[in-house]
Structure 1
Amino acid sequence: MGEIISGKELSKQIREEVRLQVEELKCKYKAVPHLAVVLVGEDPASQSYVKAKERACIKAGMKSTAIIKPLTITEEALLNIVKDLNDDTTVHGILVQLPLPKHIDENKVIDAIDITKDVDGFHPLNVAYMHLGRDAILPATPKGIMTMIHSKNIELKGKDAIIIGRSNIVGKPIAMLLMKEHATVQIAHSRTVNLKEKCLRSDIIVAAVGRPNTVTSDMVKDGAVIIDVGVNRVDGKLCGDCDFENIKDKASYITPVPGGVGPMTITSLLQNTLECFERLMK
């Protein structure tokens, strides 16, 4: 059986390290990192995610502020909230929960966030810096994936990797981060032909499409590393994009769902908030 990379266990370790760092910085600066999260509407999944972020911040010794607005908020009003947070020197990280209502241009809102407080790493300049290999705030999920890979000292140099999914949030950035460490990367998507053949040639498979059983056992070569980013609900149970039970014995390493990449996303967000705080306090 392949070794399971537990994001749940790894995140516990990293969050404790963050908590200790926050304690040190509190003594040094007489202040703690402050994350402001803006939520528009009452989507249950988004509400749950925001609450999870708030709990994680509090446990890490950080300050967390949730600004909740109705779906009817205007684009102008939301942009004014972002501006106020940009100008607030006591706020070190800003996150606007996506998706937003259709009458609000998400790009305008993302662009309006001060790059030095962009804990999501979605601002175009942060994205550009990442692609250029320059210092940047990295998107939380890809950052978490790389942390999981590094935790097991998995060799990336010269390896063939395939990313299934081309989103700006996961697919594209994780491809860039893997290439930065000298992996040869291929991006697949819904229109990719011969996906099975491409996966069988890959040493690393990152599945991030949000569709159960996208990757099955016959698509995985022995010893491959499987990173499952998908979160799906089937018959009332959470599952990923990979057929975990039938793949785990073929893989050298595999992430479970739940308890894999998911916990690392919020952990990476805490790290990004800490990073923004340190930059702003210098």
Structure 2
Amino acid sequence: MRQLEQLTRRRQAVDVQLDEVGRLIGDLEAELAEEERGVSRLEGGFSAFLAGLTGSREEKLAGEKAKALAVRQRLEGQRTRLEWLNTDRAALEEALAEVGSAPEEFTELLERKERMLVESSDPRGRELAEIAQRLAEVDADLREHEEAHRAGVAAAHAVGQVLRCLGGARGASTWDMLGGGGGIADMMERGHLLNADEAAWHAQHLLDVFARELVDIGVHVSPALPKVDTRWFADMFFDNIVTDAIKHQRIARTGEAVGDVAEWVGGTVNGLAARCGELTRGRDSFVARREDVLTG
């Protein structure tokens, strides 16, 4: 019965996540269509003619293409996230099908236990039944908290990887701002940002899993990482201290936002670990009491 309720809550949680990702994909598809129209206007037509007169056509076209590429990458990331969520939901449906008869079996078990207690004249029988029920509840709570803790640890490691990649990008950006990096620093920075973007999608998937595990213990959250901006088209035309400073600030702000998520995950994981300890001690006390009743 407890497992059925747990799986049902998880399915509801993944449905919420699927709705959220569906809306994001719709928004990104509309945004991408608009960006691609901007590219088309600059590649041909009156807008291209005007841009050509001012001598800025190539710069504007490169900028529009870069923005379209950034949106396309985010759209692909959300579509991949959607595939992960659909896979998770299918697994939950299979698990629910396996335990679908749990309510009927649980009711039958309770009826048998009730008859046993009514017919029993030994007072220890009733106490043992109460201990068994409490022990089952504590075991279920402990299992759910341990599962949430494991998911949180995995999410924490993944978010930490995003922070490490952003730290590398920030270091390269600092080097570039100081004038010592040039093109090499730009390439290093972009490489770190691309790694951070890939790591962020993986981390978001694990955060989604963590959120569903937290639902089992009554915590409803939707942790989300900020997008990692991998644009560097400005470097090709406007590589100067102003642009470098803007890039540096952008990386720093993203790192701070990811750091906030990492701090929340870490605090939640620590809280779960403490709760697991409490539940373990409670379970041990019930086990000891059962042994006392049986041997007393």
> TM-score normalised to the size of structure 2?
0.21
Question: Which protein is richer in strand relative to its size?
Answer: 1
> TM-score normalised to the size of structure 1?
0.22
Question: Which protein is richer in helix relative to its size?
Answer: 2
Q: Which has the larger radius of gyration?
A: 2
